[in-house]
């Protein structure tokens, strides 16, 4: 069973050195670029902020009046801070936001990962594929005003509001828990499956060519006790590894073909038409239990994040404090 930890990201003392100021093209809102290597608190950055390749930056109570660029292999952790423009994370970069605001898009170009906790993103989240990358997006208690589009890696949304469509392609797994998607939800090619639990999707929901699909309270991917509300058509086709659709309210049609094995389900209220393999759903023969492989996801991913943070902390101790002004 997947249970993702809600523990806050630990931002230990990270004394890193030398933030420089340099003239640069910057964003439309700023003519200056500040380079951050270290930690800082309660200051305003008057333009763009760059974390250079393989450097680390930790900010608390900081206002950035431009955009942020996290270069390859770099780390940026912000707490109770704000970014006026977008955040762009390059290959193997890491961006962590707790209690903070981003004024435009968050873009990961094959980055190591993005963690959003109790934060707001005024734009979209775009996670692009990268060579030899396994990027993740974890998001808790967060509002993303635009769309979420993920091309690779791991996607876990819990108590998140997405103002646009959510599209996930070729992920390891995609889970949407206790969340709201204001437009369409599309999941394709999830290698370890996709689960939707206790959530609201206001548009259509489409699941295609995934290895396991759980929509609602049945299935073997996660424990789920809460109803989904799906405001449009639900189409589930050509999936393997088991499909279960149980305990949902579907305002549109429920349909799909080519699922092998045939889907199971029960206790759905479908206000449109149920057709194809979903015309006469029967409950699973026995209560499914979570696969042993999925039980290990949380531990593996927590370890992945801890390893990255520990490396950043070790580097920080060698450098001394930043001087952002």
What average pLDDT does range 136-151 have in this prediction?
96
- In terms of domains, do 95 and 226 share one? no
Between CA 306 and CA 84 the distance in angstroms is: 28
- In terms of domains, do 100 and 201 share one? no
- In terms of domains, do 199 and 244 share one? yes
Phi then psi for residue 297, to 5 deg, are: -60, -50
The per-residue pLDDT for 174 is 94
- In terms of domains, do 66 and 27 share one? yes
Residue after which a domain boundary falls, among 100, 131, 162 = 131
- In terms of domains, do 110 and 172 share one? no
- In terms of domains, do 116 and 151 share one? no
Residue after which a domain boundary falls, among 105, 131, 157 = 131
**H runs (alpha helix) in the chain:** 292-295, 297-317
- In terms of domains, do 161 and 304 share one? yes
Parent domain of 66: 21-131
233-292 pLDDT, tens digit each: 999 999 999 999 999 999 999 999 999 999 999 999 999 999 999 999 999 876 445 443
The per-residue pLDDT for 79 is 94
Q: Is residue 322 part of a domain?
A: no
Between CA 81 and CA 298 the distance in angstroms is: 27
Q: Is residue 138 part of a domain?
A: no
- In terms of domains, do 153 and 110 share one? no
- In terms of domains, do 51 and 99 share one? yes
- In terms of domains, do 216 and 93 share one? no
The per-residue pLDDT for 70 is 97
Number of domains making up the chain = 2
* Neighbouring-strand partners of residue 207: 187, 236
Q: Is residue 43 part of a domain?
A: yes
What average pLDDT does range 147-163 have in this prediction?
95
Q: Are 166 and 181 contacting, i.e. CB atoms less than 8 angstroms apart?
A: yes
The per-residue pLDDT for 220 is 78
If you ran DSSP here, which 8-state letter would residue 84 be given? S
- In terms of domains, do 301 and 227 share one? yes
* Neighbouring-strand partners of residue 114: 95, 137
Q: What proportion of the chain, given as a percentage, has pLDDT over 90?
A: 71
């Amino acid at each position: 069973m997947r249970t993702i930890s809600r523990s806050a990201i630990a931002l230990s003392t990270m004394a890193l050195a030398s933030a420089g100021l340099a003239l640069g093209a910057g964003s439309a809102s700023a003519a200056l670029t500040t380079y951050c290597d270290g930690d800082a608190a309660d200051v305003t950055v008057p333009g763009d902020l760059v974390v250079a390749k393989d450097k680390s930056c930790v900010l608390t109570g900081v206002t950035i009046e431009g955009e942020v660029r996290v270069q390859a292999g770099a780390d940026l952790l912000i707490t109770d801070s704000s970014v006026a423009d977008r955040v762009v994370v390059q290959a193997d970069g890491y961006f962590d936001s707790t209690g903070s605001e981003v004024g435009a898009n968050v873009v990961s170009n094959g980055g190591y990962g993005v963690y959003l906790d109790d934060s707001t993103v005024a734009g979209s989240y775009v996670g692009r594929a990268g060579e030899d990358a396994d990027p993740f997006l974890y998001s808790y208690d967060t509002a993303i005003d635009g769309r979420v589009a993920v091309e690779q890696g791991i996607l876990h949304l819990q108590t998140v509001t997405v103002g646009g469509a959510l599209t996930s392609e070729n992920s390891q797994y995609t889970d949407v828990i206790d969340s709201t998607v204001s437009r369409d939800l599309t999941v394709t090619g999830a290698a370890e499956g996709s689960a939707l639990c206790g959530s609201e999707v206001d548009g259509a929901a489409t699941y295609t060519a995934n290895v396991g699909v759980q929509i609602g309270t049945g299935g073997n991917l996660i424990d789920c006790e809460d109803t989904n509300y799906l405001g449009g058509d639900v189409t589930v086709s050509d999936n393997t590894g088991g499909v279960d659709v149980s305990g949902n309210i579907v305002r549109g049609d429920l349909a799909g073909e080519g699922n092998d094995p045939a889907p199971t389900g029960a206790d759905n209220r479908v206000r449109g038409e149920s057709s194809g393999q979903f015309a006469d759903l029967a409950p699973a023969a026995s209560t499914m239990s979570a696969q042993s492989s999925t039980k290990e996801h949380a531990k593996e991913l927590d370890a992945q994040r801890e390893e990255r943070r520990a490396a950043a902390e070790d580097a920080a101790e060698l450098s001394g404090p930043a001087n952002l002004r």
